[in-house]
Each structure stands twice: as structure tokens, then as C-alpha cells.
Amino acid sequence: MSTILTLCRMSVIFLYNRLFGVYPVFRRILVVYGVVSLMWPVVIWFAATFRCNPIKGSWDLSTPPNCAFSLNSLFVSMESLNAVLDIFLVILPISKIKILHLPLQEKIGLAFVFLMGGL
């Protein structure tokens, strides 16, 4: 599931790069955001796998594990980070819409289109 979300997020990052990539600072923000987005499923996998001692206790119910934290707390924290990443992705193009040479009504409409992409 996290891989699918990451691939969807990366497709939007590539779209933003194509639309607004002429701005060097914006491109750097997209690169950093892309790296963080790519690391997100890796961190989830490592945390879920190596949270118990012995490691086998993470998936084998017959082995009594000594876990540092529960899967519920891991998923709540990771999904909170996912929500923050998604909100940032939706808000990110608004900064570039402000500098377009368009009437205010069209800027608002364009911002609304980008914000609706977050649903």
C-alpha cells in the first residue's frame, strides 16, 4: 500500500517539475520532497521488520517477541507523516500560482483545481 501511495506522489512531483521546474528553488524543494517520499516506505518496512527481538517475532506468531512498539503505534505515526506529506504536496503549487500573470478570478480557479487534486 505504501508503495502505491509513493508512486502516486512521485507522479505528481514529476508533474510539478514539468510545470514549475524552471524555478531552481522550487526544483530543489521537489527533489528533497521526492527523496523524503521515496524513503517513506523504506522506513515503514524497516521499522515494521526490526521492531521486535528476535526479528522473527515480527511475523511469526509462534515466537514470543519482545517488541519495542506496537504495529498500531507505528502505523498511526507513519500515516500522520503521510498526511503531512500529502498536505504539503497539495499546497506546494499555490506559491507559484501567485506569480502568474492572470486575473485574480483565474488564479483562484487554478488554485481550486490544484486543491481539488488532494481529494
CA dihedral 42, 44, 46, 51 (to 10 degrees): 170
pLDDT in tens, 45-57: 888 888 878 777 7
pLDDT score of 30: 93
Q: Which ranges of the chain have pLDDT less than 50?
A: none
pLDDT score of 105: 92
- Whether the link from the prior residue into 24 is cis, omega within 30° of 0, is no
What is the DSSP-derived secondary structure letter of residue 86?
H
CA atoms of 90 and 70, how far apart (whole Å)? 31
pLDDT score of 33: 93
Residues in Cβ contact with 115 at an 8 Å cutoff, skipping those fewer than 6 apart: 90, 94
Residue 38: all three cell numbers together = 521515496
pLDDT in tens, 24-38: 999 999 999 999 999
Contact 20, 99 (CB under 8 A): no
pLDDT score of 115: 83
